[in-house]
Amino acid sequence: MTDVSIDINADLGEFEESLANGTDFELMRYITSANVACGGHAGNEQSMRQTLSGARQLKVAVGAHPGYPDPANFGRVESPHSPLEIEGSVGQQIAALAKIAGCLDLRLVHVKPHGALYHAANTNREVALAIGRAVKAINPQFVMVGQAGSSALEVWHSMGLRFAAEAFADRAYEPDGTLRKRTLSGALLDDPALAAQQAIDIAVRHRVIASDGSELTVEANTICIHSDTPGSVAIAREVNQRLKAAGARVQGLS
């Protein structure tokens, strides 16, 4: 048994099929924070409203999941947008979600960039600053979610923003601490038992075993499960149950 508190988050509202067949709703039963796609890489008014309504019903904390405005590439290709353009786009996406949330009497808690924008913030200080400015202009109390150990978290902290360090249950890590590219074998941990073990290692032991077998130190406040990982509901259920069995308090960032 251990005395740790951990959030479980997932990116939702990204696929019409997952909304229509109930996968997103079922996934929300086992997470504590939902990152809602808000019109950049995916998402529209209908999907935002449906996702937020489900989160309200299941008492899941909600946050914005802005990405590059590039649905053709699902926001997974780095864009040549200027920092000013990124700031404007991110601000518009968060504002759109916040407006719908307000109509449902919901309060946004956090902001987590998506895909290539998330990774660009780790490597490009100007991108991280642009995202931070957009967030501060809307609500400086939002919690910024970024990869544990990343420079993006340092930038947002320097701007006076709150932040949560994120690690991943369903993604393999390279020895340098980066996520294994999705195009490589073994990038996804789609076995619920393996993902749950990695989640426990992160939350309880503050470590991750990299693809070469080496051990990385990871200090995380929240653990992500991707909704598009095959079997995501089974993974989330196993992660949630195993964390609780290990004595962890599974609770939202708020």
Residue 2's pLDDT band, with cuts at 50, 70 and 90, is: low
Strands (E), 31-117: 33-37, 61-65, 108-111
**Does 3 have pLDDT greater than 90?**
no
Average pLDDT, the chain: 96
pTM as predicted: 0.96
Tens of pLDDT, residues 72-117: 999 999 989 999 999 999 999 999 999 999 999 999 999 999 999 9
Looking at residues 202-224, what average pLDDT do you find?
A: 97
How distant is the alpha carbon of residue 62 from its chain centre?
Answer: 11
Tens of pLDDT, residues 47-80: 999 999 999 999 999 999 999 999 999 999 998 9
57 Cβ partners below 8 Å, 6+ apart?
none
Looking at residues 127-150, what average pLDDT do you find?
A: 98
Looking at residues 122-129, what average pLDDT do you find?
A: 97
Q: How far apart are CA 195 and CA 56, in angstroms?
A: 27
Return the axis-axis angle of helices 45-58 and 83-103, rounded to nearest 10°. 60
**Does 182 have pLDDT greater than 90?**
no
pLDDT at residue 1, rounded to an integer: 47
> Comparing 32 with 183, which gets the higher pLDDT?
32
Closest CA to 254 of 9, 52, 4, 2: 9
Compute how many other C-beta atoms are within 10 angstroms of the C-beta atom of residue 96.
Answer: 19
pLDDT at residue 194, rounded to an integer: 97
pLDDT at residue 254, rounded to an integer: 72
Residue 243's pLDDT band, with cuts at 50, 70 and 90, is: very high
Looking at residues 228-232, what average pLDDT do you find?
A: 93
Amino acid at 76: R
Residue 65, token pair as written in the block? 């999941």
